[in-house]
Amino acid sequence: MTFDLGATDGGAVAAPPRRTSNLRLLWRDRLGRTGLILLAISALMAILGPIVFPFDPAQVGANSASILQPPSLTYWLGTDELGRDVFSEFLAGARISLFVGLMATLISTIIGAGVGVISGYFMGPVDGGLMSMTDFFLVVPALPLMIALGAIFGQNLLIIILVIGFLSWPRTARIVRSQTLSLRQRQYVARAKSLGASDFRIIRKNIAPHVMQLIVANTILVVAGCILAEATLSFIGLGDPDRISWGSMLHFAFVSGAIGRGAWWYFLPPGLGILLVVLAFTLVGHAFERIDNPRLRGSA
């Protein structure tokens, strides 16, 4: 970064690059460390689980005696309403839930960061237009909109990822915009401009690196929201019928009457899985927030 003289400007918003020390601070924070460990467990489960215990959706039970069986040595977490192994289904669900959550977050962050940077950098009517749109999407209730879109466009993984991603970006856009607004007032941006740097170059070299660091905490919290959104949509019955996720497991547990039959082995694991993963991202996200804002410290 040739023009990065940010430290001499005495600004308080954009911190100088400190990626490594951030991770160390995160590890020192008790809740942050718990979150990181939970994340590692979830990742392991999603990556290795389906390889070790492959789930075959077509392998249904032979007779009525094999459905909704309680846990045994053959079926560690019992069987579902079709006589399939809940344990391997749970691991397959972990992969889909995490995959959808991360992909939707990627889309949401790209849109949010793009809208925020363009809005904050160019200001004026561009800013006005983009921010009106952002505010609109910020207040329109997301779940009913997701349900409507999911019901119209059909049920497959790509649609679910797109729908969640396209509806989760407004808060990121707001945060990025306010950072960009303050960054573009810095002297080094003015210097870069006077040296003839193009807008694109200034955004790429002087704005984007700082913005990226500041939206880490926000992005991690967005993942938690996206995973919950996927679970909710699938529970409503809008999940991909060919790709089982934790949410769609709970959908089938609910509509097949597993609760009434007391089949706790069917509806407890997927819910605990969602809780584990969402909590992991939430803990890490909040730990990052505490690192950025020391006034909030002292909670753990």
Residues lying near another protein in the complex (CB under 8 A) are found at 31, 136, 138-145, 147-153, 171, 224, 228, 231-232, 235-238, 247, 250, 253-254, 259-260, 262, 264, 267, 270-271, 274-275, 278-279, 282-283, 286, 295-296, 298-300
Q: With respect to another protein, which residue has the nearer C-beta, 111 or 287?
A: 287
CB-CB contact of 297 with 120 (8 Å): no
To another protein, the closest distance from the beta carbon of 281 in angstroms equals: 8
To another protein, the closest distance from the beta carbon of 52 in angstroms equals: 26
Q: With respect to another protein, which residue has the nearer C-beta, 7 or 140?
A: 140
To another protein, the closest distance from the beta carbon of 174 in angstroms equals: 11
Q: With respect to another protein, which residue has the nearer C-beta, 80 or 192?
A: 80
Q: With respect to another protein, which residue has the nearer C-beta, 54 or 262?
A: 262
Q: Residue 215: enclosing H or E segment and its boundaries? A: none
Distance CA 174, CA 141 (A): 17
| Buried-state track 114-146, b at ≥16 Cβ within 10 A, e below 16 | ebbbbbbbeeeeebeebbeebeebeeeebeeeb
3-state helix, strand, coil in the chain (%, to 5): 75, 0, 25
To another protein, the closest distance from the beta carbon of 22 in angstroms equals: 20
Q: With respect to another protein, which residue has the nearer C-beta, 202 or 280?
A: 280
Distance CA 1, CA 202 (A): 10
Q: How many residues does the chain have?
A: 300
To another protein, the closest distance from the beta carbon of 274 in angstroms equals: 5
CB-CB contact of 140 with 76 (8 Å): no
